[in-house]
Structure 1
């Protein structure tokens, strides 16, 4: 029995090996040259974030306007991405028997000429709906800011993906067995309308997971269904408050958590995290003071045995997790104090933290997609007095 258990454990580790080997680090120069958001996260006029900072309850005018914002962004700035809308409807405890529409946006960038069902994908996920109550609830951390972070990450790696795939084609290596794509899932209907239950929550996620499980790719495909094509489901939620602490929730994706944590360490060491007490702009104002302790977002990288408590937080990943999808859940514990409060608005966001998350998710995506050497060379200009960087 002990030998059998050991063999089963080894097989489980071998099953994770291809994913782990698929991840490759980028250089410090690439990290330093990653595109910055500029003013895109300005809460009043930022091109990415500001249009999302409004009530957007599923089935309302606000929801439709925010969905159109996403569509306009991809169509204008990322025309190579394939856009799909997955529609469903359901009654809710507050709809008086009427059906409420839920619309998920799926944006996909696959290698050129890839066959249907032949591409494994990194799925970056956030929900875009807001709570019905309290009246006027914005949901800046929950999850307007995460949606904007994903938009930034998609735009930041897009040209590098094009260059990588063009280089592979020129070298005749575009038929490599390892084909990786990128997917942005902006999900509707995460919030409960009345009180959280299995049926009053996760409306969009439940509908999409169910549909993808029962949609079959051509018989000879590498992946049986669109659900099988998800190599890793990275869910961002409740991000944008200062000083978050993110546990590692699932043992089977702890290796991915550690890679993201390593990227965070490197970005901090390079002075690229604006919320850091050791960012050059702050150090310049503290002459002759020792370096302060560096706080971390991802605090559990050293964790190996025990402490994995995934599943206790109900979120959009659950319908996918229940169907065997590997999940990296990026959500703070404890939750930020503004969670589900009327104060969860743009004014209570920490924009430096929002920008840091955007940079970290972009770095993780660049490494997952093996994009070292495919970013345009950029000159990082620093003002020594203020330490401010413009990319």
Structure 2
């Protein structure tokens, strides 16, 4: 009953909040998430390269992400570095928290790329998703700096906190199995379990395989998060104005099947955390191929996801 009331409140304010935030998105989307503007504010192009765990390229993207939060944002985003070695590889998860709470909303994507085929860029898998998360952080930082009145006054108090996670080691080192995959998320989930943090996660949102030029559906995969999927779908409906929508809350075939896609959400889901898995199915045709490069990205779709997730986070925290 209470969740239903919250959903109705979210839907009732979506139009007003879009009016408040549209100027920010208009001024920042193109220079932040563009395929053709290699300026200092571009959050997408730095991921146009390989990011194999432990490699110099992986270290470079870690530095880029940490410098973004530490130097480009105005507020204090505390950093948790979760580094470990397994099977001869060095893995590093990065977790950023702008405000704590009794419970948390967690947004996540993986930044690593496959070892084979050599030269694999992983533009949709998952460079674009990482760039989207950086944009969401920048958007929230602006609100915390100059538009805090748009958020509830207790935002920085002890209610809903936020964590943005960049996972390492999602890809298999050789062949995907339950043991050879999602190294970073398994390690962080175990760490947070030992700290008592898993029980404090209200919703774990995982972004993956987004930004393809193909029009691919993103289904609702988990019963516990379907209401949140509906909220995100309402946001998309307002933004897309009916054109080329990815989400369809009335299409329930994958929800009825139960979880069947393996990804970084698995250890959190198995621990009882509510998961919203934002991944298309079928996968992009370039999945795990060298063609998963920046020539096959659609910046309009990436920018739409950035706006959708920005709006969603504000609504979630305000509820």
Q: What's the TM-score, normalizing by structure 1?
A: 0.73
Q: Which residue of 2 aligns with 1:219?
A: none
How many residues get paired? 308
Q: Which residue of 2 aligns with 1:106?
A: 95
Residue correspondence of structure 1 range 172-251 to structure 2 within 5 A: 179-215=159-195, 225-242=196-213, 243-251=215-223
Which of 287, 298, 312 matches 1:339?
287
CA RMSD in angstroms, aligned pairs only: 2.6
Displacement after TM superposition at 1:309 (Å): 3.3
8 Å contact 2:80–2:96 — kept in the other structure? yes
- Between the aligned partners of 1:168 and 1:196, the Cα distance in structure 2 is 44
Change (3 A) 1:189 1:165: farther
Change (3 A) 1:134 1:304: closer
Which of 132, 148, 152 matches 1:164?
148
Structure 2 gaps, min length 5: none
Q: Does 1:298 align with 2:247?
A: yes
Structure 1 gaps, min length 5: 1-12, 92-98, 112-117, 216-224, 270-292, 372-391
Show CA shifts across 1:112-139 (max 9, x none): xxxxxx4312111100000000000000
- Between the aligned partners of 1:361 and 1:332, the Cα distance in structure 2 is 16
Which of 75, 82, 85 matches 1:86?
82
8 Å contact 1:57–1:63 — kept in the other structure? yes
Displacement after TM superposition at 1:22 (Å): 8.3
Change (3 A) 1:258 1:62: same
Q: Does 1:368 align with 2:311?
A: no
Q: What's the TM-score, normalizing by structure 2?
A: 0.88
- Between the aligned partners of 1:366 and 1:348, the Cα distance in structure 2 is 30
8 Å contact 2:126–2:208 — kept in the other structure? yes
- Between the aligned partners of 1:340 and 1:175, the Cα distance in structure 2 is 41
Displacement after TM superposition at 1:366 (Å): 2.0
Structure index of larger Rg: 1
Change (3 A) 1:353 1:176: closer
- Between the aligned partners of 1:139 and 1:175, the Cα distance in structure 2 is 36
3-state SS of 2:257 partner: coil
Change (3 A) 1:207 1:359: same
- Between the aligned partners of 1:40 and 1:175, the Cα distance in structure 2 is 26
